[in-house]
Amino acid sequence: MAGLAASGSNPDVELLYDINGLAKDAPHWFDRVMEFVGEYGLLLALVLLVLGCWWSVRRRPGEETASSVAGLVWAPLAAGVAVLVNVPIRGFVERRRPFLDHQGLDVLVAGKTDYSFVSDHATITMAMGVALFVVHRGFGVAGIALALLEGFCRVYMGVHYPTDVVGGFALGTAVALLLSPPAMALLTPVAKAVERSPRAGWLIRARGRAYAGRDALIPGARREAAGAEERDLAA
């Protein structure tokens, strides 16, 4: 397995050279931008996307807010679980980084000594994008688009084969979807408990939005209801 994609006639290697060749023709400043974006920027963008989705769903009325927020909590957890699953996969496949076996690559990030298959960056971003898609279609499409861009950047930077990226996409998707039911079964009750908390409830639902059951009244309506109860007791 360690010799996977070792032949220069392999389409995987040919596509690697084609994409990485773009880095040779690009201005130096553009390569530096791609280096930052591919190494850190897209990961940060996905975190901000999850936070933006959280800000949006907690302001919607209805009884499903807690489960939606639980799904957003699952997004980074899915990425973490997927990376852990990748540890034995990397050890089994033992594919070396492409620049160690192929000459002439323009490597934008030096010092990569771990195994190449599968890409952690592709795994993390796709796991978060897919988990986000389950909660909110619009934010999810944006998250998956960022994951696809991350995969392109990893090959452009010369640190992964295209199939490393495809493997990461598959792993991240599988973990996010297959482990979602048990994860949601654990996280949703916790989110509902936080929602009922007077101090921490804003983490699940924005102030002034409808709550479930008796608490399904906005603050002003709750005060009016309390006043009506007091008048009934006085009568």
Burial per residue of 142-177, b for 16 or more beta-carbon CB atoms within 10 angstroms, e otherwise: bbbebbbbbbbbbbbbbbbbbbbbbbbbebbbbbbe
As to burial, measured by CB atoms within 10 angstroms (0-12 exposed, 13-18 middle, 19+ buried), residue 5 is buried
pTM exceeds 0.85 for this model: no
Return all residues near 27 (Cβ < 8 A) that are at least 6 apart. Answer: none
Greater confidence (2 vs 93) lies with: 93
| Sequence spans of domains, the chain | 11-204, 210-235
Cis peptide bond upstream of 118, omega within 30:
yes
In this predicted structure, what is the pLDDT of residue 182?
96
The per-residue pLDDT for range 67-106, each reduced to its tens digit, is: 999 999 999 999 999 999 999 999 999 999 999 888 889 8
- Report whether CATH 1.20.120 matches the domain 11-204: no
Position 213 pLDDT exceeds 60: no
The per-residue pLDDT for range 60-77, each reduced to its tens digit, is: 776 688 999 999 999 999
Position 6 pLDDT exceeds 60: no
In this predicted structure, what is the pLDDT of residue 31?
92
